[in-house]
Structure 1
Amino acid sequence: METQIYHKNRIFADEKTGLTTEQALVRKAAGLYNEQVKGAEKTAAEIIKSNVFTYFNLVFFVLALCVALVGSYNDLTFFPVIVINTVIGIYQEIRSKKTLEKLTILSAPKATVVRDGKECEVAVSSLVRDDIVVFSAGSQICADATVISGTASLNEALVTGENIEIKKEIGSSLLSGSFVVSGKVYARLDNVGKNSFVSRLTLEAKKKNNNKKSEMMNALDNLVKWIGILIIPIGFLMLFNQICILHTDYKTAVVSTVGALVGMIPEGLYLLTTAALVVSVMRLAKRKTLVHEMGCIEALARVNVLCVDKTGTITEDKMEFSDLCVLDEDTGREKTEKILCDFCNAADGDNATINTLKEHFEGADGLGKKAEKVFAFSSEKKYSAVNFDDKTSYILGAPEIIMGDNYSALAEKINEYHGSRVLLFAEHLGEFDGENITDEIVPLSLVVISNKIRKNAPDTFRFFKSQGVKIKVISGDNPKTVSEVAKSAGIDGAEDYVDSRELENDADFASAVSLYTVFGRVTPEKKRRLIIALKENGNTVAMTGDGVNDVLALKEADCSIAMASGSDVASQVSQLVLLNSDFGALPSVVKEGRRVINNIERTAALFLVKNIFSFFFALISIIFAINYPVMPSQLTLVSTTTIGIPAFFLALLPNNDLVKGKFMRNVIYKAFPAGFTNIFLVSYLCILAGYANIGFDEMSSMVTIVLGVVGLTMLYRVCKPFNKFRKILWGAMVTAFFAAALLFPKMFTLSPLSVYEVLLLILFVALVQPFMYLVVNILEFFEKKLKKAKSKKA
């Protein structure tokens, strides 16, 4: 019998037949398929353009042109470095783009569609208009649709911002971007691809795309912005000072000014940070971890609280039927099992518990009861219910919810099943309306479901404990049950648990996150509020989840981590997705985050030494009307051996320390002693050179050696604690610096020195270590004073 109706280019198939393959192909050829709105990722051409046509590349080009025009080609050694940096940046970004594209294809969302009278799984992008799609708990609505069969509860918080469950029945519209909380429906797709609601929102959002950047990237952006503004007036003032006041020749004035400006620009630091993050994304990709937002790597490195769910994280995804404890002797075990069998057959397979019971009762005979009304499980209500045609109603769910004030009568019996999920199966006397449990409840049995502890869970939690990361278990289950499971998994403080229904206001949540480790009976909204409370207590919070009830909390966390085996929506809203769905892989992911951020912070201090010296000495040269003492080629020698090469290798080394403090403050704190040492010693050297009538070229050469020794001393501090590799690296840079200075003096504009000048240089070189040590100790002294003052105020 023909079940399809054609109207205004629509095909109205029913849920049993769906479209034919031929009809789907025709619709796809006509452009009526669910083409996914492309992400904000750059194309290869855009990557090249964004790396080449930057403000600082323009500045470097102008500076190189100025040096070339005055004929000082030896001082163009800085320009090839910029070209190489740009090429590396392009290569790394394109390589990362290709890697992520491959992973995205592997983890592309799927949908169950009815085609040729059969249900099959296809990629979401292969769906066409008028396809009949099956949506069940955990599914995200992938295109605008209309329900043609079944009922379900949907949460449209992702698209409307309202965290309420909306019941959907035949004829109801489904908004793309919302997700199914419970129930199961067959729906006909109306608007697909770019015409769907969520795609239109996405396209609109792209017009004003302001991705939230990490604290580190914001700090670097601000640094680059201010330096980019300041170098222009400083450059003009330096030229004016040297040409009009000091009457320096044009060639020396231009080259000297270019040397100062090149030293001020932190181009290497910004590139190092971007490249290191890109490499980190690629390394995580090899470990089957998909990174949606590169900035989350910094948040991951700073995490000191990790929130986890019980099922799927501490325990395995697979649930097992464990026991049936009969409570009503009049009904008896046999009849209770038969009624429960009818209940499970009537209920939609809308959650893991029902599916576990369906599997257990597969092939068993019930009493033959026919369902009249089915109320799907709700994460808010914590139960499901069925009204049968014989006017009986039954409820299955959380005992404390169903029993209310009478729960204490069952508490002792329930507590016997430590670590298992215990549900109450009860008869509701009087027809149930799906909203309020008002009539008398007759408890029939306790249904015991168990999950095995993941084999690697205890080792994983031991790792986090050793790293100073606190674990918070947030679950919708009974808090006592969750506590027992958490104890078995070795979670520190698992005996401290609370029922989240006791938490009502912000003060309750703020207090609870400090006192408790385990939170039970947590609704999706309360999960979100717990994350907010943890963040307001000054923590950096990571959240792992795999279900639709985790979505709100995942979006609120500083770093959200989803299991690919979980719901589509959880994977799509999370910043990181574990494609193997292995919680045990998380320590290696955290280590990678810490490695890259700690190493960036460590090596950033090397770059900032040069920037601090160049900026402040440029101001000194303007204020006191003296020549800037460093040429671009000399700065290239210092930068390459004390910053560029070592920074590249140091950024790749293991470093699992917890990241603390503000990025820029930490970097400036580490860089200041060396930067101040440079300013003080070079200023004093310039003054002595003036009194001793030492020529500018000779003085410039002496300053270069002093800067190099300060840089190598700073590198020595950064390399601590030494291992074999760091010893070799530091020794190689010392050798490279002095070998280049002695063997290629003309390349780096270094002049021969007299015996007197050599002795004076040795004196200043000898002062580097003790002076820097003095500055470090002064800083530490004031830091301790500041900490004491803060502790007294607290």
Structure 2
Amino acid sequence: MTADTVRLGLSTAEVAERVADGRVNTAPERRTRNGWQILAGNLFTFFNALIGVLTVVALVFGGPKQALFGLVIVFNSAIGTIQELRAKAALDRLAIVGQAPSRVIRDGAETPVAPDALVVDDHVLLGPGEQIPVDGKVARPAGLEVDESLLTGESDPVAKAEGDEVLSGSFVASGAGAFVVGRIGADAYAARLLAEASRFSLADSKLMGGINRFLKIITVLIVPVAVLLIVSQARSGQSLRDNIVGTVAGIVPMIPEGLVLLTSIAFVVGVLRLARRRCLVQELPAIEGLARVDVLCLDKTGTLTEPGMSFGEIVDLDGTVDARPILAALVRADENPNPTMLAVADAVPVDPGWEAESQVPFSSARKWSGADFGGHGAYAFGAPDVLLAELPEPLARAQELGAGGNRVLALVGADELTCDDGPRPVGVRPLALVVLEQRLRPHVGRTLGYFNEQGVTLKIISGDNAVSVGAVARAAGVPHAERVVDARELPEDPEALAEALETYTVFGRVTPQQKRAFVTALHRRGHTVAMTGDGVNDVLALKEADLGVAMGSGSAAARGVAKVVLLDNDFGSLPRVVAEGRRVLGNIERVSDLFLTKTIYSIALALAVGLIGVPYPFAPIHVTLIGALTIGVPSFFLALAPNSERFRPGFVGRVLRFAVPAGVMVALATFGAYWLARDNESSALREDKATATITLFCVALAVLALTARPYTWWRGGLVIVMGGLFVLVLAVPFARDFFELSYGDPYNTLVGLGLAAAAVLVLVGVTWWNTRTAVKPPMKQ
């Protein structure tokens, strides 16, 4: 392209020509499943296939009534599909809102366009924190440094000269510039970064991992138990029809068909609830991560404080130089001013008209920027403890001003802006200190108080002066905010760094690489870490953290790697976000208790029947009734209900400690009642099955009652309504006949109720013991 083309960009006609030729960036779609994939994913599952086969068998040999359990396929698939479609629509809408447009030059003017509207040869402008959407070659660098760590793993920014290649997925660390679009769409080197960050999946979920372990064990157990049941029913002396129907009735309740469904629904409903609060969840496991977090690392600027700053005052250090025109010249020379420079720009006079011969852009590593104006001199502007490190008196004055929580910056003259031999320019002369006022976000104290009450340890991490950051933290009400340290004094050894992180609360002058090292060190101590941030210097830590939370107004790079984006920029939304995660995990544990208990008592009953060689005590219609009233309907309400319980580690162990004894006691009481009823010669097999059904329901209802604790009005009401519906079935002749519940000898019913009561007492004792010996959440220090 010619120099004029680079300056003016493409014309409207040239853009149209490229679009017509297909040379337009086809942005990778968010990896959400389309409608047909969602339907297929919810319909064609292993358990649906198994239940479908059993439904056909029951329909052929038992009639429509005995095959009613097959409706679970319809309900599960419909509910799962509808919920996932709603979640997909909500996420896609939020993703569009949160998508950063690219700035291009077209027809000689700067124009914002969507990344998927970029065409080959477009002239794309770049500023600090902006993510590079496609591949291309640098055309006009102005101190441009690109961070390619998300692609290469190398954390040091790479300086880019004219003609150098830039790759999609990297982002601008400092400086500014422009590039000419080359490879687009699927040909781009790393366009998959944002697509991967936006992926809608259940991958890497510890909760789903635990449930999948349950399902593998259950699948292994079902096969031999089902074979034993089939053989025993064939030898039980019943008709072929009764043998097949009994076998189906024994196999169906072993299958936890609703567990995976309700787990997925709980996740996607969590996504929908957060979407209504303008929270974009880019990965479903983030919902789970919200509940597990025990250390929250907060960036000061934009999180504790409002994003912008207001100008305070200029404190003269020289007495012979007017700092205002110098500051005005520095502001004009900065093509992409950050919030600090914008605050200064509001207070300085009109630019004096100096032309910069060279520039050093601001970066988080340097912590200063500067420009050389030739005959007017060279100047640097940035952190006092960097620029004034060798000048005790001005530095002490800066620290005094910053002790109240204001942000203080130093303006210095310099012989040379080069910093090759050290962290600061050569020949520094102090000129002035600029004081900027920072405003705390509304309700920040209440938000921090919530996390403290919930046992979440807070760490304030900032690139600003440690004393200033500590003052802001104390004003915000951060616990132990007096434990302040300058990160430059911290050890590099991972173990020693982890110890320091346990000791201190507020960290100043933290580099981007240190932020990532902090997360790694906390992981070494077994912590689950959440990191908030909005700037380019937060990207590495956001990617490393278990849960990265970015502000919607933050840099494109920060939003791209974060798992949760607060599109309304409201830090006060975080308690609701954490509460949603805890609701999901707590409720999934409840329904897991129910489903695993059912599976265990079903397997135990099938084993007892198979080994002793008696007819199976239930027909499929009995299984449908009990499953609906004690698990199916209640679990749906429990999975989506409010739940503010704190997260406790050990999900798998806790579920097994409840479900195994509960399932065994249900099976013992039920089979005992059935065995004694069979031994009573005055009752028929149909009446014996009714006795077993009543006994099973009573103990299973007790399991539901124990699972529903702590009680609220609706949870208590849910248990009562389910019990009342079963009593109604027994009381209404039509319903009793439909569900094949024939009254027999009252003695059988009384024995069944007695055994059920004994089993319930044992379950209450087991639950009390489990509660007493449960692992408590770690206490805060």
Same-fold status (TM-score > 0.5):
yes
What does residue 413 of structure 2 align with?
427
What does residue 557 of structure 1 align with?
545
Please report how far the alpha carbon of residue 565 of structure 1 lies from its aligned counterpart in structure 2 after TM superposition: 0.7
What does residue 65 of structure 2 align with?
74
Separation of aligned partners in 2, 1:293 and 1:768: 43
**Which residue of the other structure, out of 714, 718, 729, is the alignment partner of 2:718?**
729
Preserved contact between residue 201 and residue 285 of structure 2 (Cα < 8 Å):
no
What letter corresponds to residue 591 of structure 1 in structure 2?
Answer: A
Please report how far the alpha carbon of residue 779 of structure 1 lies from its aligned counterpart in structure 2 after TM superposition: 4.3
What does residue 165 of structure 2 align with?
173
Please report how far the alpha carbon of residue 211 of structure 1 lies from its aligned counterpart in structure 2 after TM superposition: 6.7
What letter corresponds to residue 195 of structure 1 in structure 2?
Answer: D
Deviations 1:41-81 (A, max 9, x none): 11111111111111111101111122223235432121112
- SS state at 1:553 partner: helix
What does residue 285 of structure 2 align with?
295
Deviations 1:402-429 (A, max 9, x none): 2335457623542233211112222223
Preserved contact between residue 146 and residue 187 of structure 1 (Cα < 8 Å):
yes
- SS state at 1:153 partner: strand
TM alignment of 1:274-423, pairs within 5 A: 274-329=264-319, 331-332=320-321, 334=322, 336-365=323-352, 369-390=354-375, 392-404=377-389, 406-407=391-392, 410-417=395-402, 418-423=404-409
User: Is structure 2 residue 700 aligned with structure 1 residue 700?
Assistant: no
User: Is structure 2 residue 641 aligned with structure 1 residue 656?
Assistant: no
What letter corresponds to residue 583 of structure 1 in structure 2?
Answer: F
Preserved contact between residue 300 and residue 559 of structure 1 (Cα < 8 Å):
yes
What does residue 610 of structure 1 align with?
598
What does residue 621 of structure 1 align with?
609
The 1:552/1:466 distance shift into structure 2, 3 A limit, reads same
Separation of aligned partners in 2, 1:469 and 1:774: 32
What does residue 93 of structure 1 align with?
84
Moved more, 272-281 or 711-720: 711-720
TM alignment of 1:478-497, pairs within 5 A: 478-497=465-484
What does residue 579 of structure 1 align with?
567
User: Is structure 2 residue 138 aligned with structure 1 residue 153?
Assistant: no
Please report how far the alpha carbon of residue 13 of structure 1 lies from its aligned counterpart in structure 2 after TM superposition: 4.9
**Which residue of the other structure, out of 104, 107, 110, is the alignment partner of 2:101?**
110
What letter corresponds to residue 171 of structure 2 in structure 1?
Answer: F
User: Is structure 2 residue 175 aligned with structure 1 residue 190?
Assistant: no
Separation of aligned partners in 2, 1:674 and 1:97: 38
- SS state at 2:667 partner: helix
Preserved contact between residue 18 and residue 131 of structure 1 (Cα < 8 Å):
yes
Preserved contact between residue 349 and residue 355 of structure 1 (Cα < 8 Å):
no
What letter corresponds to residue 471 of structure 1 in structure 2?
Answer: L
Please report how far the alpha carbon of residue 94 of structure 1 lies from its aligned counterpart in structure 2 after TM superposition: 1.6
Moved more, 182-191 or 615-624: 615-624
Moved more, 249-258 or 77-86: 249-258
Q: What's the TM-score once normalised by structure 2's chain length? A: 0.93
**Which residue of the other structure, out of 148, 154, 158, is the alignment partner of 1:162?**
154
Deviations 1:149-172 (A, max 9, x none): 123111001111111110112222
Separation of aligned partners in 2, 1:126 and 1:397: 38
Please report how far the alpha carbon of residue 198 of structure 1 lies from its aligned counterpart in structure 2 after TM superposition: 1.5
Q: What's the TM-score once normalised by structure 1's chain length? A: 0.92
Deviations 1:510-544 (A, max 9, x none): 11221111111111111111112223322222211
Preserved contact between residue 18 and residue 117 of structure 1 (Cα < 8 Å):
yes
What letter corresponds to residue 65 of structure 1 in structure 2?
Answer: V
What does residue 656 of structure 2 align with?
668
Separation of aligned partners in 1, 2:379 and 2:470: 29
Separation of aligned partners in 1, 2:396 and 2:242: 88
The 1:464/1:201 distance shift into structure 2, 3 A limit, reads closer
User: Is structure 2 residue 199 aligned with structure 1 residue 212?
Assistant: no
**Which residue of the other structure, out of 21, 38, 52, is the alignment partner of 1:47?**
38
Preserved contact between residue 393 and residue 432 of structure 1 (Cα < 8 Å):
no
What does residue 9 of structure 1 align with?
none
- SS state at 1:651 partner: helix
Preserved contact between residue 155 and residue 166 of structure 1 (Cα < 8 Å):
yes
Please report how far the alpha carbon of residue 14 of structure 1 lies from its aligned counterpart in structure 2 after TM superposition: 3.7
What does residue 242 of structure 1 align with?
233
Separation of aligned partners in 2, 1:535 and 1:702: 55
Deviations 1:362-408 (A, max 9, x none): 5153xx54322201111112111223323943222222222335457
Deviations 1:289-315 (A, max 9, x none): 111111110111222222111111111
- SS state at 1:36 partner: coil
What letter corresponds to residue 284 of structure 1 in structure 2?
Answer: L
Deviations 1:602-636 (A, max 9, x none): 23212222111112232333344444323321111
Moved more, 743-752 or 492-501: 743-752
Moved more, 493-502 or 657-666: 657-666
Separation of aligned partners in 1, 2:119 and 2:662: 64
Separation of aligned partners in 1, 2:194 and 2:414: 46
Separation of aligned partners in 2, 1:363 and 1:625: 97
Preserved contact between residue 25 and residue 115 of structure 2 (Cα < 8 Å):
yes
Matched length: 770
What letter corresponds to residue 685 of structure 1 in structure 2?
Answer: A
Moved more, 275-284 or 737-746: 737-746
TM alignment of 1:417-496, pairs within 5 A: 417=402, 418-430=404-416, 432-433=418-419, 436=422, 437=424, 439-496=426-483
Please report how far the alpha carbon of residue 673 of structure 1 lies from its aligned counterpart in structure 2 after TM superposition: 4.2
The 1:385/1:201 distance shift into structure 2, 3 A limit, reads closer
What does residue 729 of structure 2 align with?
740
Please report how far the alpha carbon of residue 139 of structure 1 lies from its aligned counterpart in structure 2 after TM superposition: 0.4
Please report how far the alpha carbon of residue 131 of structure 1 lies from its aligned counterpart in structure 2 after TM superposition: 0.9
Separation of aligned partners in 1, 2:194 and 2:366: 32
Separation of aligned partners in 1, 2:318 and 2:306: 32
Separation of aligned partners in 2, 1:522 and 1:547: 13
Moved more, 566-575 or 711-720: 711-720
Deviations 1:71-93 (A, max 9, x none): 35432121112221111111111
- SS state at 2:388 partner: helix
What letter corresponds to residue 618 of structure 1 in structure 2?
Answer: A
- SS state at 1:772 partner: helix
The 1:259/1:598 distance shift into structure 2, 3 A limit, reads same
The 1:362/1:602 distance shift into structure 2, 3 A limit, reads farther
Question: Structure 1 regions of 5+ residues with no counterpart?
Answer: 6-11
Moved more, 65-74 or 594-603: 65-74
Preserved contact between residue 350 and residue 376 of structure 1 (Cα < 8 Å):
no
Please report how far the alpha carbon of residue 494 of structure 1 lies from its aligned counterpart in structure 2 after TM superposition: 1.3
User: Is structure 2 residue 699 aligned with structure 1 residue 714?
Assistant: no
- SS state at 1:191 partner: coil
- SS state at 2:530 partner: strand
**Which residue of the other structure, out of 634, 638, 642, is the alignment partner of 2:630?**
642
User: Is structure 2 residue 489 aligned with structure 1 residue 499?
Assistant: no
- SS state at 1:183 partner: strand
What letter corresponds to residue 485 of structure 2 in structure 1?
Answer: V
Separation of aligned partners in 1, 2:193 and 2:309: 38
Separation of aligned partners in 1, 2:421 and 2:217: 60
The 1:37/1:750 distance shift into structure 2, 3 A limit, reads same
Deviations 1:150-205 (A, max 9, x none): 231110011111111101122221111100011110211111222211237889x8
Preserved contact between residue 13 and residue 132 of structure 1 (Cα < 8 Å):
no
TM alignment of 1:22-37, pairs within 5 A: 22-37=13-28
The 1:641/1:560 distance shift into structure 2, 3 A limit, reads same
- SS state at 2:412 partner: strand
The 1:616/1:627 distance shift into structure 2, 3 A limit, reads same
The 1:272/1:538 distance shift into structure 2, 3 A limit, reads same
